[in-house]
């Protein structure tokens, strides 16, 4: 009898521990998470972001890309913001992230938020809000950003190399990468539309121009006239020249990207790959022919989906005092 009672007590204690763990780590993000603890958070973020984007609109694209790169490695935990240390090479220094810009914007927003609400708002949430506001300031989507993320304490260079989809990825690889993050095929084709803003160095697509299969050839899926234009801008071995991803419209968040893809003028292989799958192809054509009838709405929805990847909540992680350093 005593043994049975002891077992019952131990089982109850275990159940309470599990429930407490579930509560602390399984909380969901929600719009207005800081309603009581930092009620003006969105206004502070928007004002500070506007100060930078108004002076340098080209910062919007790398800030959006920064949020994407953060979420695809360890989840949306601000790990891409951490600096390397003497004993650890961080995500920020991985090859795919070396072209990221705008870390100073995140630091400025964090500083402004800390003045009003010290120790309350995570860097991961700030990055999600800044990405949204940067898109909106280029006449793009507005979406409500669920918040409540906590900051991670780990950032590893090699994980960024493995976790981020490559610009040379084919449709099978892209679908597998997005599926591994819990994202749908629609999320894949919608989020690819983020390439409507921004620029790229020649390196990520140079093989399409000069050595596509290792025989000095070009990518047959690339429009010949566009190919000729790119060759004028990007000579063999050029790693410094910047090329607009959406020529003529790279500072405006619109549906022109899909029109370019239908004309075989997507800059990366991953752009062209969207025509190789029935579902992604249908969406590309739909947006191109309807002048982006649903693109802005769809983009907001997919950004919310992406923003939920692997989040830390409750007692997990921390609220960093400075975004580049763990506490």
Query: Hey, which residues are catalytic here?
Result: 69
Phi, psi of 41 (to 5 degrees): -55, -45
- Give the chain's end-to-end CA distance (angstroms, integer): 50
Return left, alpha or beta for 119; rule: phi > 0 is left, psi -120 to 50 is alpha, else beta. Answer: left
Strand, helix or coil for residue 217:
coil
Output DSSP code: residue 252.
Answer: S
Q: How far apart are CA 150 and CA 11, in angstroms?
A: 31
Q: Which two tokens stand for residue 284?
A: 């590309």
CA angle, residues 109, 114, 118, in degrees to nearest 5: 155
Q: How far apart are CA 82 and CA 103, in angstroms?
A: 10
Measured CA to CA in angstroms, residue 78 lies from 215, 319, 326 at distances of 41, 10, 10
Q: How far apart are CA 210 and CA 216, in angstroms?
A: 5
Q: How far apart are CA 55 and CA 317, in angstroms?
A: 34
Neighbours of 252 (CB within 10 A): 14
Q: How far apart are CA 2 and CA 266, in angstroms?
A: 73
Q: How far apart are CA 222 and CA 147, in angstroms?
A: 40
């Amino acid at each position: 009898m005593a043994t049975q009672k002891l077992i019952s007590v131990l089982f109850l204690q275990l159940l309470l521990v599990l429930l407490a763990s579930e509560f602390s780590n399984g909380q969901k993000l929600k719009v207005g998470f800081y309603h009581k603890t930092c009620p003006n958070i969105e206004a502070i973020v928007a004002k500070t972001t506007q100060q930078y984007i108004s002076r340098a609109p080209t910062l919007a694209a790398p800030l959006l890309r920064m949020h994407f790169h953060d979420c695809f490695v360890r989840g949306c935990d601000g790990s891409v913001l951490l600096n390397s240390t003497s004993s650890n090479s961080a995500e920020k220094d991985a090859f795919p992230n070396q072209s990221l810009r705008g870390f100073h914007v995140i630091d400025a927003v964090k500083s402004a938020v800390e003045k009003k609400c010290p120790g309350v708002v995570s860097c991961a949430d700030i990055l999600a809000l800044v990405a949204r506001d940067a898109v909106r300031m280029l006449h793009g989507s507005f979406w409500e950003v669920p918040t409540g993320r906590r900051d991670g304490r780990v950032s590893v260079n090699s994980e960024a190399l493995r976790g981020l989809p490559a610009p040379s990825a084919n449709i099978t690889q892209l679908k597998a990468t997005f599926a591994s993050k819990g994202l749908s095929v629609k999320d894949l084709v919608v989020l690819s539309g983020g390439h409507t803003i921004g620029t790229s160095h020649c390196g990520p697509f140079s093989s399409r121009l000069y050595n596509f299969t290792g025989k000095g050839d070009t990518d047959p899926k690339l429009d010949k006239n566009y190919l000729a234009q790119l060759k004028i801008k990007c000579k063999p071995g050029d790693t410094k020249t910047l090329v607009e991803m959406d020529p003529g419209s790279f500072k405006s968040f619109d549906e022109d990207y899909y029109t370019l893809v239908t004309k075989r003028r997507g800059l990366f292989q991953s752009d062209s790959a969207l025509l190789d799958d029935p579902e992604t192809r249908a969406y590309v054509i739909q947006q191109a022919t309807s002048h982006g009838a649903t693109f802005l709405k769809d983009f907001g929805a997919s950004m919310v989906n992406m923003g939920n990847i692997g989040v830390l909540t409750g007692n997990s992680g921390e609220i960093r005092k400075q975004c580049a350093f763990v506490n």
